[in-house]
Chain A
């Protein structure tokens, strides 16, 4: 694709901290290369703001290669921007043309309060993982790879679920701010594998209980989460969690 440069108008959500009301600020950005990533474009704008003695735009980022789940911008009405199965850091400016206006907002959900500007606090996800998103049974020494047979299909489904990077785009896109895609990916990933079996009931019950405690909404199967997920996590996982959770709850003896 031919390289080109563009001038853009950015409307960015600015908010000093969690307790102050935010507002949109409009910035013209000039001479942006089509080869830049979206975050590099924000870097250019921030350098300009710093030179002008203004506060740079705060945003989350880490690996910048689409695997850490830190970047989290709601760009023109879509988490992670217009490309399918893509993170904001992997969104490149060739997605835009000269003269475009881009509106950038933070994830919106009560459970993801704004820390500053485009940064939100996603520690609710960490607490859900802490509630049961792990294996604590003693699995012993490393055994021969073929000692515990795992069907290819299940291994593939577990792997696909494990691809979740916990970015929170599912919550951001859901009209109910539901975290079910995230929680179901974590529950499915472990429930499908033999090592995850012994704790699968407790895991489903504890993680859903923590999810509810954090104030996320309930899932109404609209499918918006799946459509925006940068890792293409399927809502089949949500149906699996619905089943795992109720079977676990109904089979309790007390």
Chain B
């Protein structure tokens, strides 16, 4: 069997979604952990140092390439699956099954994913573009110059309610996307043992809520002035 036939089959395409999905979940752990440094209450010193490490060290920079590849694969394969799945039923029902049997967010992964894509574009424009391309104000920490990414966060969120609301919507979409995606990825990759599925479902629910809430609290903390 050719590689292309394997990965173009319906199961192969779902494997791509599952593998990239789990890779992106791992990225979220790193991202939320590093960003939590804003709550060190040190005026962003720890956060700027952590961000500097991610930007200056070769390993995270290489992983960043993988991250972009992961996002692109996940997004385009997701859209392609959504379109072909929708096309498999040209004529719909007069009375639909609705929530009897499946969760609304499980059926809305395409929409939630699209909202996350829009969020991602805005998020990259706010932080990735200035830190990697256009440049950030330097800040002196212990006599050494660092990019002031923390200052950029304050710029973006302080006194800017619409942006904080958009970020909160993004985090809410992330929570719902993960509530389905986390456990679905493992099922797609072949976990069929009910004992482990139970653990995965509970861990997925916990992860979705805790990580999304932590992310949402970051702009809110800055807007509310809890961190300065």
Contact = CB atoms under 8 A, between A and B. Distances in A.
Interface of A: 11, 24, 74, 76-79, 103, 105, 108-111, 173, 175-178, 180, 205, 208-209, 211-212, 215-228, 235-247, 249-250, 252, 254
A211 B103 CA distance: 25
16 contacts: A77-B98, A108-B89, A108-B91, A109-B89, A110-B87, A175-B107, A208-B11, A220-B107, A221-B180, A223-B106, A225-B101, A236-B197, A242-B187, A243-B189, A245-B11, A246-B11
A113 to B, nearest CB: 10
Given A74-B95, A224-B107, 17 more contacts: A77-B98, A105-B93, A176-B85, A208-B9, A208-B11, A217-B10, A218-B10, A218-B11, A218-B13, A218-B14, A219-B14, A220-B85, A221-B180, A223-B106, A227-B101, A236-B194, A244-B190
A37 B101 CA distance: 24
Interface of B: 1, 6, 9-15, 81, 84-98, 100-103, 106-107, 109, 180, 183-184, 187-194, 197
Contacts of B94: 11, 24, 103, 105
B1 A205 contact: yes
Given A218-B13, A249-B1, A176 B187 contact: no
B89 to A, nearest CB: 5
B85 A252 contact: no
B22 to A, nearest CB: 14
B97 A109 contact: no
B93 A224 contact: no
Contacts, number: 149
A109 B88 contact: yes
A105 B11 CA distance: 30
Given A108-B93, A218-B13, A246 B88 contact: no
Contact of A239 (B84, B91, B191): B191
A201 to B, nearest CB: 10
Nearest to B194: A236
Contacts of A24: 94
B192 A236 contact: yes
B207 to A, nearest CB: 17
Given A220-B106, A221-B188, A223-B101, A110 B12 contact: no
Contacts of A227: 100-102
Sort A-B residue pairs by CB-CB distance and give the 4 closest, nearest first.
Answer: A243-B190, A227-B101, A77-B95, A239-B192
